[in-house]
Amino acid sequence: MGDTERIVQQMSEKGLRITDQRRTLVKLFADASGYLLPKDVYDHMQRTYPGLSFDTVYRNLRVLLDLGIIEQIVFEEGVKFKLHCDESHHHHHMICLHCEKTLPIRSCPMPEMDVPGGFQIVKHRFEVYGYCSDCRDAAEHAAAEENGRP
């Protein structure tokens, strides 16, 4: 069974109605490799459902969020969503600045950190940004073109 159907079933068991729209939304996240803005979600969904309204997108994002199916992170560009990570292994992410694909980083810096004394640690945030191997070449070509080399 694919990720989409598994999640849809999980939603059904919680008593939620499975509409075509919700199925498409789940599939969008199941297939996406990176973070999505509400606007990204709306734009994608709107192709299939021309009458779609923005508030329904927000409402369904909240539903998926409350069920723990997706997670929310605040970036400079705004709030973004992605499929919830498997939490069985604590990990962090590399995030591609071009395609927003994320790659896990298995090691966590916290154990090695020398934090100021007397501070009671509750949580931490660690993210690395850059260009993934797929996008690095594209970025270099773009930069070269800006400098006049076609």
Q: Which residues are annotated as a binding site for Zn(2+)?
A: 96, 99, 132, 135
* Binding-site residue ranges for Fe cation: 90, 124
Element (H, E) at 40: helix 38-48
- Minimal distance, residue 90 CB to DNA, in Å: 27
Binding partner of residue 3 among a second copy, DNA, none, CB cut-off 5 to 8 Å per kind: none
In sequence order, the 6+-apart residues with CB closer than 8 A to the CB of 101 are: 33, 34, 95, 132, 134, 135
Q: Is 30 exposed, middle or buried (0-12, 13-18, 19+ CB in 10 A)?
A: middle
Query: Can residue 125 be called a binding residue for a second copy (CB under 8 A)?
Result: yes
For residues 57 to 96, the per-residue mask of contacts with DNA, x marking binding by CB under 7 A and - elsewhere, is -xxx-xx--------------xx-----------------
Query: Can residue 27 be called a binding residue for DNA (CB under 7 A)?
Result: no
- Minimal distance, residue 100 CB to DNA, in Å: 16
State the Rg of the chain over Cα. Answer: 19
In sequence order, the 6+-apart residues with CB closer than 8 A to the CB of 135 are: 96, 97, 98, 99, 101
Please check whether residue 78 is in contact with residue 58, taking contact to mean a CB–CB distance below 8 angstroms. Answer: no
Query: Can residue 123 be called a binding residue for a second copy (CB under 8 A)?
Result: yes
- The DSSP 8-state label assigned to residue 53 in this structure reads -
| Positions in 76-95 near a second copy (CB under 8 A) | 76, 94
Residues contributing to the site for DNA (CB under 7 A): 12, 15-22, 37-39, 49, 51-56, 58-60, 62-63, 78-79
